[in-house]
Amino acid sequence: MLQETLATAPLYIAMRDDDNVAIVANSGGLRPGARFACGLTLVEQIPQGHKVALSDIAAGAPILRYGETIGHAVSAIPKGGWVREALVLMPDAPSLTNLPAARGAQHPLEPLEGFTFEGYRNADGSVGTRNILAISTSVQCVAGTVEYAIRRIRDELLPNYPNVDDVMAITHAYGCGVAINAPGAAVPIRTLQNLAKNPNFGGEVMIVGLGCEKLQPELLLPEGMASAADDSDIIRMQDESLTGFGEIVDSIVAMADKRLRALNLRRRETCPAADLVIGTQCGGSDAFSGVTANPAVGFAADLLVRAGATVMFSEVTEVRDAIHLLTPRAVNQDVADALIREMDWYDRYLQNGEADRSANTTPGNKKGGLSNIVEKAMGSVIKSGTSAISGVLSPGERVREKGLIFAATPASDFICGTLQLASGMNLHVFTTGRGTPYGLAAAPVIKVSTRSDLSARWHDLIDLDAGTIATGKASIEEVGWELFHMILDVASGRKKTWADKWGIHNSLALFNPGPVT
């Protein structure tokens, strides 16, 4: 797969033997006349990550990468020529009818035993990797007040509770001014319900609401908790017993204090790796994403699945063009049908907004060598590894099964992360080619770069360099194992991610497919 040669010599990376294109690996790209070890010579300049034709490609002929047709040649491309975006005609997405039937994993994976991490076990059986108090909010109106209260809680209370990592607000732009009965409303509502149950919050739910909002705060109480009649977990700012801002803030601080006391009693204990719920995502992808970082994540995903853990992959528009590769991996036809159902829902959602899957791929993706969403998707789904797909979640649903799960989400980075948190993610793995400083307050985020250039430049933002795979310094297996061990270390609190060291935390972003009013 990888040409064994010096990193400074012309180097390309082909993914499959029958591919007729490969990507230029060299930093800075290559000039015309550059000659690869196999004898191929460039007929024009090609930037790093961009595709070179390995043979003459006739006009209309398929362009093959990852063994898949990522497009057809708009005009003839000579051997050694640059297969630039303008020469690649994007094919239609695979039809959702007549997809291959479910048959599970072709090579069932061996169980992997003996790996553990130190986590916070919750009453519901889930395990946190952090010990955080989360204050839910039912409507954006209260966000400024809750943030004010959180500043007081941080200053006045947190120093008394050294075993608590942080306090955060689950704030959002939902809750009122929205069509709460529209079909799309189910998504943001269940997302907020399930966010409060994230394992990193230890089951200590409290909700601040206003009173007059459409999303009444009791709707955010987890099932089995206090009934709507019992308001011991809810503060409504409009409650007539609360006089003024001062009393409102005092009541939030007092409710938080009780919960902090409970959280402070928690201690990490040794848990099997099976208790991990890992969300995977890529953002700012480039042509190396599918070559280095995502295959390493895929290898680690297989290790995690073998260890009995839950691994989620997501991002519908980055899966859509690979759906024919995924349905056969479903453990049964119900799971395959659920995959198709989520693709179909999203096709219609985009169509309703007069867009389609091609709206995914950014200027940066293209600059990084990705011609279209088909090529991006082929590189994206590699994060899922090789195991059978055990289950499918609609956006914001809580995960029920172990193993590899497709959690349907938009590819939008923070919407995806928010939905994976709602699904129960206790640690996030994020790969990036162009570079993003992504961070979440609710769960640690391990950032993996696709290129060593980026890791070197962003030495204090990138946690793991998978670019070594492209230069031949490390194998996919080696980086995959390194990531696996890093996951256990970060989950245990033994190692801090760069985002957590700096405290870079992006806001949550709800997916609301319904209209605002």
| Residue at 104: amino acid letter | G
Site string for a second copy, 235-264 (x = CB under 8 A): --xx-x-xxxxx-x----------------
Nearer to a second copy, 36 or 414 (CB): 414
Q: Does residue 436 interact with a second copy by CB under 8 A?
A: yes
Q: Does residue 210 interact with a second copy by CB under 8 A?
A: yes
Which of 362, 394, 475, 492 touches a second copy by CB under 8 A? Answer: 362
C-beta separation of 221 from 247 below 8 A: no
Nearer to a second copy, 20 or 371 (CB): 371
- Cβ at position 491, least distance to a second copy in Å: 21
Q: Does residue 333 interact with a second copy by CB under 8 A?
A: no
- Cβ at position 243, least distance to a second copy in Å: 6
- 205 by DSSP, 3-state: which? coil
Nearer to a second copy, 368 or 403 (CB): 368
Nearer to a second copy, 87 or 187 (CB): 187
Residues between 126 and 145 that touch a second copy (CB under 8 A): 140-145
Distance, CA of 114 to CA of 110 (rounded, Å): 13
Exposure of 347 in the CB half-sphere (CA atoms within 13 A): 15
Q: Does residue 381 interact with a second copy by CB under 8 A?
A: no
Distance, CA of 206 to CA of 148 (rounded, Å): 16
Taking the CA atoms of 155, 158, 162 and 165 in sequence, report the sign of the dihedral they define.
Answer: negative
Nearer to a second copy, 480 or 514 (CB): 514
Tokens 């094919």, residue located: 91
Which of these segments, 32-40, 173-181, 199-207, 322-330, binds a second copy (CB under 8 A)? 173-181
**Which structure tokens are listed for 475?**
């194998």
**Which structure tokens are listed for 510?**
């709800």
Q: Does residue 353 interact with a second copy by CB under 8 A?
A: yes
Residues between 262 and 291 that touch a second copy (CB under 8 A): 283-284
Distance, CA of 35 to CA of 16 (rounded, Å): 21
Helices (DSSP H) in 111-183: which residue ranges?
143-152
**In this structure, how many other beta carbons lie within 10 angstroms of the beta carbon of residue 156?**
12
Residues between 459 and 498 that touch a second copy (CB under 8 A): 459-461, 498
Tokens 């959280």, residue located: 263
Q: Does residue 1 interact with a second copy by CB under 8 A?
A: no
Nearer to a second copy, 102 or 158 (CB): 158
- Cβ at position 15, least distance to a second copy in Å: 22
Site string for a second copy, 81-120 (x = CB under 8 A): ----------------------------------------
* 376 phi/psi in degrees, rounded to 5: -65, -45
Output the DSSP codes for 75-94: S-B-TT-B--GGGEEPPPPP
Nearer to a second copy, 283 or 290 (CB): 283
**In this structure, how many other beta carbons lie within 10 angstroms of the beta carbon of residue 207?**
23
- Cβ at position 452, least distance to a second copy in Å: 14
Distance, CA of 429 to CA of 293 (rounded, Å): 10
